[in-house]
Chain A
């Protein structure tokens, strides 16, 4: 074995020490998780009327009942999808609208939360803590509080999703901004551009694709969230689902579930498509497009 120079041996030792620490940490966390699951299951076993082992046998009874009921409904099942479309649209509306609001708030706040664009450190800390606060409560908790105060309607759910989205998008946006290249900003600063112009052209142009991609992901998450909020009385398809589960209308439950799954799959594809388009735009237009653009431009310039 070759003898390494002292400084490299030192780095090697440090690396190995780091790897050891990491291995120990992983092992400990796996043990803790395993222990938690094990004790959780046994505690639940002790408290429940039936044991976990018995319960698992009944696990497939319910879906089986649902499907058989839907099968029995026959052709009557398909119009149910049309019946519940308005509810689905309500839920989608709620999700898209509140993501939009959250996007606007997050975009504004993130420039005050990022190191390279915040006017000063105190503002940055205040905004960061505010964003932490916004995302520290799950949508469900915020929605339940607002539902209690304002009564049953779409508004509490919209507020809840908006607040949570602002918090989580704001954090992601501010990190994207902090990672932006500072050279364009410095270039604009050197020619006397004010803060707004530096942020608008120097920073926003760089982070826009990633920001939009985060937002699309958030739309998907919020469709799920607004469905769940329906269960606590925020309206939309979630409420319909919860009512039908309680009334044990198997055919209707199946119809709603099929609609939800289809919607989420569609959204997945749609956002993937849009993201693909945006990332395609990041590497500039293709050679062919650029050529066409140039020809067009030359024509206009000559006129």
Chain B
């Protein structure tokens, strides 16, 4: 399904991603772990086409998505939803409009300039918000929400894109433990219910082990581990994290040690 072949990204002399190859055959939750600057974010941004790869190919269902241009590229971006650490919503627009903007690829010029969105889309957006317990705040401005709420709105916006793949770039790094859990539960739920692949950059080891069925470890732009959470030993993990190991191990205690019973998303 997703096949990444020899992707390299250089920023000047610095190699952020070096000759990375891996493939994902069936829908699953994949966690990418590694210390800051290991190239995790750059890899996701290359796949989404926010950054241009220096070399390499990314195939999705047989199409090389790195060679797409113009509208075809936008269509790929529509199919490949992205979640950001800082949520990246439009702060001064209300939640409902933010979610509807997930459909931007399909909107005509006049429609999007005048915000004349069809009723059908509004209902869909509301239904999506309701699914994550956010319908009541649909008319509030995005900037007035808490971080956890904003991230769940961002997840709703991603759902409006009807994506075939979701890339989450450190989705819980700026959230408190409870909201981090809500966001991760939401992503997991989407992965299971929609049967799509979610690739998640995670800083904390325990979160990755808890939610993902496959873990990829990156170090200085290289893939140094690729396997199931069980096969990732503490020794290997310490090697991946290097100097940040203590932080990554310790942060895990606060983020998911609250208990593993699923909690329903509440506003």
Partner of B104, one of A186, A192, A293, A301: A192
Contacts of A236 in B (CB 8 A): none
Interface bits B70-114 vs A (CB < 8 Å: 1, else 0): 000111111001101011111111000100011011010100110
Residues of A within 8 A of B140 (CB): 284, 290, 293-294
Contacting residues, chain B, for A200 (C-beta < 8 A): 112-113
**B35 CB to nearest A CB, Å:** 23
The CA of A162 and the CA of B97, in the complex, are separated in Å by: 35
CB 8 Å contact bits of A285-299 with B (1 = contact, 0 = none): 000001001100110
Pair A301/B135 contact, Cβ less than 8 Å? yes
Contacts of A208 in B (CB 8 A): 92
Q: Cβ of A193 and Cβ of B105 under 8 Å apart?
A: yes
* With A196-B109, A196-B113, A284-B144 as contacts: A201 and B90 at CB distance below 8 Å: yes
Using an 8 Å CB-CB cutoff, how does the interface string of A195-228 with B read, 1 for contact, 0 for none? 0110011100110100000000000000000000
Q: How many residues does chain A have at the interface if contact means C-beta atoms less than 8 Å apart?
A: 28
Instruction: Report Cα–Cα, A284/B140, bound state, in Å.
Output: 8
A144 to B144 CA separation, bound complex (whole angstroms): 51
A residues 13-29 in Cβ contact with B at 8 Å: none
Residue A276 at the chain B interface, CB threshold 8 Å? no
Query: Looking at the complex, which one of B78, B89, B102, B137 makes contact with A184 (CB distance below 8 Å)?
Result: B89
A119 to B140, CA, bound (A): 33
Residue of B nearest to A208 (CB): B92
Which residues of the partner chain A approach B141 to less than 8 Å between Cβ atoms? 284
A206-B92, A290-B144, A294-B139 as given contacts; A187 in contact with B104, CB under 8 Å: no
Q: Is the CB of B90 within 8 A of A293?
A: no
Contact A205 B105 (CB under 8 A): no
Instruction: Give bound CA distance, A186 to B90, whole Å.
Output: 10
Are A196 and B102 interface neighbours, CB within 8 A? no
A298 — which chain B residues lie within 8 A by C-beta? 136
Q: How far is the CA of A192 from the CA of B86 in the complex (A)?
A: 19
CB of B15 closer than 8 Å to a CB of A: no
Chain B residues with Cβ under 8 A from A48's Cβ? none
Take A184-B89, A205-B90, A290-B144 as given contacts and tell me if A191 and B161 are in contact as well, using a CB distance cutoff of 8 Å.
yes
Judge if B143 is at the interface, Cβ distance under 8 Å: yes
Q: Is B102 a contact partner of A191 (Cβ separation < 8 A)?
A: yes
Let me know if A191 and B105 touch, CB within 8 A.
yes
Q: Is B157 an interface residue (CB 8 A)?
A: yes
Known A187-B88, A191-B101, A191-B104; further 15 A-B contacts with Cβ < 8 A:
A187-B87, A187-B154, A188-B90, A190-B82, A191-B78, A191-B102, A192-B105, A197-B104, A197-B107, A200-B113, A201-B97, A202-B90, A284-B141, A284-B143, A297-B139
Q: Which residues of A contact B (CB under 8 A)?
A: 181, 183-184, 186-194, 196-197, 200-202, 205-206, 208, 282, 284, 290, 293-294, 297-298, 301
Q: Which 6 A-B pairs have the closest CB atoms?
A: A187-B88, A192-B77, A193-B104, A192-B74, A192-B78, A190-B82
